[in-house]
Amino acid sequence: MHYRGIFPRDLFAELERLQRDFDGSPSIRGAAPGYPAMNVGTTPKSVEVYAFAPGMTPEEFDVQVENGVLTISGERKDIVAPEGATIHIGEHFSGRFRRVVSLPDDIEPNSTTASYRDGVLHVCVARREAAQSRRISVQ
Amino acid sequence: MSEKVIKRENASEESAAMRPAVNVVEDATGITLYADLPGVPKEKLSIHVEGDNLILEGELEINSPPNMEAIHAEVDLSRYRRVFGLSRELDGNKVSAGFRHGVLELRIPKAEHAQPRRIVVQAT
């Protein structure tokens, strides 16, 4: 549900609202790319996943690695407006979320670590030693 | 000519910011604004009141390994920015803020004269 802003002067808000209304959702699971937004990177030794999920506590995340797939899920509680208060803008995602990332074949699922800082969940999945390129010395 | 170039640079700087999602709740004594700013440490957050405008800005700081190669990025800008117009009854000088787990909570009280007052009806 999109609430009209209380600040009608914000032209960009209005344009974005129009765009949201006209774009439609190409996916049955809603507007891509989903919540939370994610960045994924790799190093020779690890796969690094960052999920931008503010307003949580570390205990509220469920992070699992199974069959080469990383799943991040949880629930963000809706704001509770005090009695008699009005919600003018309600853009925050709330409710249950779940996102899935396929990991490369060379991961070591048992050495996965996760930390939560400044509203970003960072999951680091180690990769197997063998997959790391090794320099062969020429005799 | 050079001024135009500068202007264009400024314009692209302005647009190269993500718009944080907000919730705005109003009660009898003021407005509470919650802004999602994941990835922004407290030191990189700035809240300004300029005239009638409330300006929220924050810079992301993600400590990724230096040799990391990005393969998928949905967050590809390094800052947030959003401006709100404050209406006259709000007291921009008394804004208080809290920041926790990437969510900024701003309280903007209504000016004294705009606070609701109960009028007692006298029996005559």
CB spacing of B64 vs A120 below 8 angstroms: no
Burial of A121 (0-12, 13-18, 19+ CB in 10 A): buried
- Does residue B4 sit within a domain? no
CB spacing of B103 vs A52 below 8 angstroms: no
Nearest CA in chain A to B40: A118
- Does residue A10 sit within a domain? no
Cβ-based neighbours of A115, under 8 Å, separated by 6 or more: A58, A121, A122
- Does residue A14 sit within a domain? no
- The mean of the pLDDT values for chain B is 85
Task: For chain B, give the percent of residues with pLDDT over 70.
Answer: 87
Residue of A6, A38, A55 lying closest to B101 (CB–CB) = A55
pLDDT of residue A61: 97
Residue B123 pLDDT more than 60? yes
- Does residue B24 sit within a domain? yes
Domain of B83: which CATH number? Answer: 2.60.40.790
- Does residue B91 sit within a domain? yes
The count of domains in chain B is: 1
The most distant pair of C-alpha atoms in chain A lies apart, rounded to whole Å, by: 81
Judge if ipTM > 0.90: no
Burial of B37 (0-12, 13-18, 19+ CB in 10 A): buried
Cβ-based neighbours of A34, under 8 Å, separated by 6 or more: A97, A99
Which run of H or of E encompasses B96? strand B96-100
pLDDT of residue B16: 86
pLDDT of residue A78: 84
pLDDT of residue A4: 43
Using a CB-CB cut-off of 8 Å, the residues of chain A touching B103 are 54-55, 119
Q: What DSSP line would sit under A63-125, residue for residue?
A: EEEETTEEEEEEEEPPP-PPTT-EEEEE-S--EEEEEEEEPPTTEEEEEEEEEEETTEEEEEE
Domain of A37: which CATH number? Answer: 2.60.40.790
Q: Please give the residue that has the higher pLDDT: either B118 or B44.
A: B44
- Does residue A72 sit within a domain? yes
CB spacing of B75 vs A39 below 8 angstroms: yes
- Does residue B6 sit within a domain? no
**How far from chain centre, in Å, is Cα B120?**
39
- Does residue A75 sit within a domain? yes
Q: Please give the residue that has the higher pLDDT: either B6 or A86.
A: A86
Residue B37 pLDDT more than 60? yes
Domain containing residue A92: 33-131
- Does residue A21 sit within a domain? no
d(CA A130, CA A88): 55
- Does residue A26 sit within a domain? no
d(CA A69, CA A98): 13
- Consecutive 10-residue runs of chain A (139 residues): their mean pLDDT? 44 59 55 82 94 96 94 90 88 93 91 95 89 73
- Does residue A24 sit within a domain? no
Using a CB-CB cut-off of 8 Å, the residues of chain A touching B75 are 37, 39, 50, 52
Query: Torsions phi, psi of B67, nearest 5?
Result: -95, 15
CB spacing of B36 vs A118 below 8 angstroms: no
pLDDT of residue A14: 61
Tokens matching residue B56: 């929220």
Residue B107 pLDDT more than 60? yes
Interface of A with B (CB under 8 A): 6-7, 9-10, 12, 16, 33, 36-44, 46, 48, 50, 52-57, 79, 81-82, 84-93, 116, 118-120
Residue of A40, A52, A54 lying closest to B72 (CB–CB) = A40
Residue B78 pLDDT more than 70? yes
The count of domains in chain A is: 1
Each residue's pLDDT tens digit, A39-78? 999 999 999 999 999 999 999 999 999 999 999 999 998 8
- How big is the CA angle at B52 (ends B46 and B58), to the nearest 5 degrees? 15
- Does residue B7 sit within a domain? no
Domain containing residue B90: 18-114
